[in-house]
Amino acid sequence: MPKKVVPEAERRRRRPTRQGTVLSEKLIVRTALRMLREHGSAGLTARRLGAALGADPSTVYRYFAGLDGLTRAIGEELMGRALDSWTATGNWRADLRALGLAVHASYLAHPEAALLTASRVTGRPREIEVDETILGILRGAGFRDTDAVGVYHAFIDLALAFAALDAGALAVKDEVREADEDMWTTTYARLPAETHPHIATTARLLAERMNHSAYPVVLDTLLGRAEAQLAATTGAPRSDRP
């Protein structure tokens, strides 16, 4: 049976830890992010976290429903950071594009955390705030509710899918990632035209593009389709964006 999370008022430490800090959910989450960056997901344990905080390993269970609860809080933190870095302009397409890029960037700033949390639904306040913001932008632009939910679904899944994909490349050791990136020039670019005419013809272009995320391009494609859908249902003029 999972341990019961202690209410906030009861779990708050009255005295600092051995390191002179007062524990809080935010401090624990930030410490966990640092541990993920330094040790990967396998290194995030209650024992190590307690040692890093200067507290008993059981401390995490007073603040979260186990390590899974902490994982959800980490995902919420990444979503919250994305929202905090974003500013609305009133242009629905520009605002969604900027928010999508902010989510992607927030997760890539912590690749190990992104791999751990991108597929999770946290149900926590900051994540809910992001979802409410996206749906508010779409409904405010004039999308019907069924269309707004459809675009929201594609939008958030696209951001998180690319976050996980691109984080996977960043999470491996530098030499492994560099070897993968060099493959476009050491292997693909050397394939003979006699056996691989299409790759041989486009090898230079492949080398220029394939080591960069395709997320901005695919995001623009999604938003362009959404804009066309909005125009078809409301008669709203389309922008000059592709």
Domain ranges of the chain: 1-64
Q: Which CATH architecture has domain 1-64?
A: Orthogonal Bundle (1.10)
pLDDT at 59: 82
pTM of the model: 0.86
**In the prediction, which pLDDT does 210 show?**
96
Residues in the chain with pLDDT < 70? 1-21, 236-242
For residue 240, what pLDDT is reported? 54
Task: Using alpha carbons, select from 52, 76, 66, 75 the residue that is nearest to residue 167.
Answer: 75
What is the model's pLDDT at position 21? 67
Say which DSSP state 238 is in. P
133 to each of 100, 114, 130, 155, 197, how far by Cα in Å? 12, 21, 5, 12, 47
pLDDT value, residue 1: 45
**What does the alpha-carbon distance between residue 132 and residue 177 come to, in Å, rounded to a whole number?**
37
Long-range CB contacts for residues 223-230, cutoff 8 Å, separation at least 24: 223/93, 223/96, 223/97, 226/93, 226/138, 226/143, 226/147, 226/151, 227/93, 229/143, 229/147, 229/151, 230/141, 230/142, 230/143, 230/147
